Amino acid sequence: MQTTKQKTLLLILGILFSLTACRPKTEDVKETTPPHPEQINITYCNISHENLCVEGFGKESDGKLLILIKAENPSYRDIYIQSKEKDSSFTCSQSQDFPGNLYCTGETFLNGEDIALNIYTKKDKKLIASGNFTIQYGDITSPNDLSSENSATATQEPTYSYPNYPNYPNYPNSTP
Amino acid sequence: MLRILLDGLFVLNQNRALILGILAILIATGLALTFLLRPKTGQKSSYNHITLFFFFTTSLLLRLAYLRNVFIPPYFDSVEHFRIIKAMTEGLASHAFFDVFSGLTENYYHLGFHTLASLLAFGLRADPIDVMLVFGQITLTMLPIPVFFLIWRETKDQKAAFFSALLAGFGWYMPGFAINWGKYPAITGLLAFEVALLLITYLRFQKKYLVKNIQLFSIFISILIHSRTLVLFLISFLGYFLSRKIFALGKENQYKALKIEFLGILIFGILIYQQPLLKLALEPYINKSIWITAIIFLLTPFALRKYRQAVHFCLLFILLLFACLFIPINGILPGFETQTLLDRPFVEMSLYFPLSVLGGVGFSGLLQSLKNIPALSKRTYKSLNFLTALILFTLVGFLITKDYKFYPSDCCNFLGYDDTIAFEWINNNLPANISILVASNQLNVLPSTNSADLVGSDAGIWIPQLINRKIIMAPYELDFLSSETKDFLCHSQTNYIYVGNKEQSFNQSTLLQKRDWYQALLSLPNTQLFYITNCSN
């Protein structure tokens, strides 16, 4: 005969199992995305409080600009971008494994050039965000940029602060 | 602290189904063990469930904050864990689970962890990456709980139990920091070790066949999760046996034993400290958190008054842990000739356990010694007891909030935003049969081991698993300016070079200096991809 404790245990286990087993499949969850919020001013992610922001800019070997987007809100992920300056559009690709990370490819822009971005949803072509940026290719030096720099900069020694010595352990501790 | 808790809430909300699923399973297991194995001693639990729940929930949110901006489990170990878990999960889905084992490597020894993680991924229909990340943080959150119950059983003092739980969770940056190394099996193994020890301690006088079997089973599971926990069990049993023997001796001999234990720890400590690689094992406890370690040793004389056997057990545990760094396993396990019973990272991760227990019994010993102050009224004693506990909690709490890092370390979080974009770009623009050169470093865990093996040292190591392209590893210091390197790359039929953003990534500037050899295909702020040209020359 079961004691009250055993019955309680079975009941708790049953509830917990039901909670776990009845969870909808991940794909089902993904299908239900929230509606589009109002139009926002898009800016860089390190200063943005929005669910849609620009991480930075990159470029391909042919000079084409890559706009790096972070979209935490799933409703911002199926998008394309238009630039006012060159009246051209950028097609966006979503990372398969990390769907909140997108890159959009389009026209060539030079380092330091201004760009005004309008972001639209692909589905209903609704303007969801806009913002002005100055193209900065980050700290990297592309081969073309390198040629314009003086050779002293180009040939400088790499500066490594770490590892301190060649056989640095593979499990480094927190740096002081 | 509020921002960390909010980040934790954000992660909890994003992964609520998976987190609740894992918690449900763990809580159900805990409840089952509690109900089935509750000793019939007539004792009622007098610890504060609400405080324990608050401690656990706060810890969980703090731990989950770690995942706020993490895409993938950190460091190179995680890649292999992910590969195996993914294969096992797919094996479960296609009813070929046991066939997967044949594909595992020769020196495979985390069977229990990978099986557990793949069962979670399969049962909760979750991505193995998410399971690794979330399960790792939940395991870390759980680590102080068995320590709480161990101290509560020993002292019947819930303040001391909370003190030791606080130490076990956040006293030092270990074992929490080990998440940065992708040490998921070791952390899970430590939790399983603690739970098994708890079962053995709580039920040591029960002779029931079922109880004994469950105790043995918990040890077996723990060893399956991480084989090195076998050494921890041996240390525990030896420590318990010796501490009992010492406890049975006269007072004078007990103090002699105590001196020997301290001397042994000191000698081994010096030996460890003299070796640059081993020295790191002590860093979490004597570097940043020296004050917390000092508090514990200051509390030890108080622990000795009331919990002598526990003190001897903890000191012997530390001593044996240190000794295991020097005991080779020659001839015991083929293929591991150069290794010792425990490696440096594992000792570094495990030291929190004896120290937390020592802190708990020391705390209780201090509070109890207040009773011995002559001419102290009951009311004054209570106030003094409360005040002492408050001072210790505030002091340790202050040291923790000042020093503890709840977010990923720069050292080991390989995959950043730019890497995710670069991977997607490669997937969209480059053929499937290419070879990509990625940065690596030599494997160095023990001074005795040879450094022939290379391990990945930036996000490039994830390329085969995430975008199914072949990689070739090369030391991150590779000199791309030399013609030998160029010849090597051409002969190895490597087409591309992946430059990540870690300290041990390839040096981008050297590649840019040889534009006739290496063409920049993709340039992102923190990641670049180069194409190797003119190989026929």
Express each pLDDT in B51-96 by its tens digit. Answer: 888 899 999 999 999 998 899 999 888 998 999 999 899 988 888 7
With contacts defined as CB-CB under 8 Å, which chain B residues touch A70? 417
3-class SS shares of chain B: helix, strand, coil, % to 5:
65, 5, 30
When comparing pLDDT for A158 and A93, which is higher? A93
- Does the pLDDT at position B413 exceed 80? yes
| Confidence category of residue B372, pLDDT binned at 50, 70, 90 | confident
| Confidence category of residue B262, pLDDT binned at 50, 70, 90 | very high
Model confidence, pTM: 0.84
A134-148, B171-185, B206-220: range with lowest mean pLDDT = A134-148
Return the pLDDT at B109: 67
- Does the pLDDT at position A170 exceed 80? no
Q: Which of A16, A98, A163 sits opposite B24 (nearest CB)?
A: A16
Q: Which of A8, A16, A56 sits opposite B27 (nearest CB)?
A: A16
- Does the pLDDT at position A75 exceed 90? no
Q: Which of A137, A154, A162 sits opposite B523 (nearest CB)?
A: A137
The answer to whether the Cβ–Cβ distance between B519 and A61 falls below 8 Å is yes
Return the pLDDT at B52: 86
With contacts defined as CB-CB under 8 Å, which chain A residues touch B181? 171
Cβ neighbours of A68 (radius 10 Å)? 22
Q: What are phi and psi of B523, to 5 degrees?
A: -125, 110
CA–CA gap between residue B279 and residue A31 (Å, rounded): 52
CA–CA gap between residue B236 and residue B354 (Å, rounded): 10
What mean pLDDT is predicted for residues B475-498? 90
- Does the pLDDT at position A47 exceed 90? no
With contacts defined as CB-CB under 8 Å, which chain A residues touch B444? 167-170
With contacts defined as CB-CB under 8 Å, which chain A residues touch B426? none
Beta carbons of B496 and B474 less than 8 angstroms apart = no
The answer to whether the Cβ–Cβ distance between A98 and B420 falls below 8 Å is yes
Cis link prior to B301 (omega < 30° from 0)?
A: no
When comparing pLDDT for A174 and B144, which is higher? B144
CA distance A24 to chain B (A): 9
Which of B23, B411, B421 to probe by mutation at the A interface, max A CB count within 10 Å? Answer: B421
Question: Does ipTM exceed 0.90?
Answer: no
Structure tokens at A2: 């079961």
Neighbour-count burial for B499-529, b at 16+ CB within 10 Å, e otherwise: bbbbbbbbbbbbbbbbeebbbbbbbbbbbbb
When comparing pLDDT for B338 and B124, which is higher? B124
CA–CA gap between residue B465 and residue B83 (Å, rounded): 7
pLDDT tens digits, one per residue of B93-106: 888 777 777 777 66
| Confidence category of residue B417, pLDDT binned at 50, 70, 90 | very high
Contacts 24+ apart (CB under 8 A), A139-143: A139/B525, A140/B508, A140/B523, A140/B524, A140/B525, A140/B528, A141/B508, A141/B509, A141/B512, A142/A59, A142/B512, A142/B520, A142/B523, A143/B512, A143/B515, A143/B519, A143/B520
- Does the pLDDT at position B272 exceed 90? yes
What mean pLDDT is predicted for residues B519-529? 92
Contacts 24+ apart (CB under 8 A), A87-94: A90/A65, A93/B424, A93/B425, A93/B428, A94/B424
Average pLDDT, chain B: 88
CA–CA gap between residue B168 and residue B437 (Å, rounded): 41
What mean pLDDT is predicted for residues B148-153? 91
Q: Which of A25, A141, A170 sits opposite B445 (nearest CB)?
A: A170
- Does the pLDDT at position A163 exceed 50? no
Beta carbons of A138 and A57 less than 8 angstroms apart = yes
Return the pLDDT at B176: 92
The answer to whether the Cβ–Cβ distance between B524 and A68 falls below 8 Å is yes
CA–CA gap between residue B311 and residue B301 (Å, rounded): 9
A72-76, A141-145, B96-100, B239-243: range with lowest mean pLDDT = A141-145
Q: Residue B181: which residues within 8 A CB-CB, separation 6 or more?
A: A171, B74, B75, B77, B345, B412
Return the pLDDT at B213: 86
Beta carbons of B56 and B141 less than 8 angstroms apart = yes
Q: CA B110, B112, B115 angle in degrees (round to 5)?
A: 105
